[in-house]
């Protein structure tokens, strides 16, 4: 039968790299102002330990998942993932569809900062939330690897609606694999998630499957954190 798992995490369970947060703020290859460091440290100590971080996935253990002609088909649900993702999913036999969230509190705190005129704190807290949501997805990816590793199966990279040509509106299909309110995450008609700092996606799985680098140079999403960091690193080598 299919496997559904969910986890409650603390920030101590995650590998949080503050350097990436500073880079996302534009501080690359030069010193970060002490005033910015102080704000980041204050926000981390006051708010991050209070986050309600959750993650979960559904692994299709008995239902085949196929990647065919720019589509991903799971349990008779057809995702139009387009060429980049489909090419990375070649050879899979199953998949894990996942959700991660840092919880509603961060949305509320960020709004309070903006409403009170503390734009900088709100902006930085927003970046921290995005980074922790991404780090949570990385943590969950490792859990999926552990689950399928005993079968000598490999995993692809994580791919999410809204990236690599995959229409964000197909979140509705992805959410159909979970019970309503799974992890406290809901979906707007537009396909955007609530709480805002939530991520979703799919990891392809199968014998002989290998994780390949993201094809960031072919992606048109300007605000993608992974793409921007990858391109910066490439420019420095």
- pLDDT digits over 164-206, tens only? 899 999 999 999 999 999 999 999 999 999 999 999 999 999 9
Confidence at 2, pLDDT banded by 50, 70, 90: confident
Residue 27 and residue 23: Cα distance in Å, rounded? 5
Q: Which pLDDT score, from 0 to 100, does residue 197 have?
A: 97
Q: Which domains does the chain have, with CATH numbers?
A: 3-236 (3.40.109.40)
- pLDDT digits over 78-125, tens only? 999 999 999 999 889 999 999 999 999 999 999 999 999 999 999 999
- pLDDT digits over 213-229, tens only? 765 555 555 555 555 55
């Amino acid at each position: 039968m299919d496997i559904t798992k969910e986890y409650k995490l603390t920030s101590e369970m995650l590998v949080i790299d503050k350097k990436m947060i500073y880079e996302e703020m534009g501080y690359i290859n030069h010193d970060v102002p002490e005033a910015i460091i102080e704000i980041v440290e204050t926000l981390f100590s006051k708010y991050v330990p209070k986050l309600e971080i959750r993650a979960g996935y559904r692994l299709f253990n008995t239902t085949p998942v196929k990647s065919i002609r720019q589509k991903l088909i799971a349990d008779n649900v057809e995702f139009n993932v387009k060429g980049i993702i489909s090419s990375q999913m070649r050879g899979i036999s199953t998949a894990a569809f996942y959700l991660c969230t840092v919880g509603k509190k961060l949305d509320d705190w960020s709004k309070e900062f903006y409403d009170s005129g503390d734009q900088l704190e709100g902006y930085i807290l927003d970046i921290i939330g995005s980074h922790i949501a991404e780090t949570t997805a990385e943590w969950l990816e490792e859990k999926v690897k552990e689950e399928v590793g005993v079968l000598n199966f490999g995993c692809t990279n994580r791919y999410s609606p809204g990236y690599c040509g995959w229409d964000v509106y197909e979140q509705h299909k992805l959410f159909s694999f979970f019970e309503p309110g799974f992890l406290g995450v809901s979906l707007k008609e537009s396909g955007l998630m609530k709480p805002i700092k939530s991520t979703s996606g799919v990891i392809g799985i199968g014998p002989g499957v290998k994780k390949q680098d993201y094809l960031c140079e072919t992606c048109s999403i300007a605000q993608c954190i992974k793409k921007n960091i990858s391109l910066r690193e490439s420019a420095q080598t």
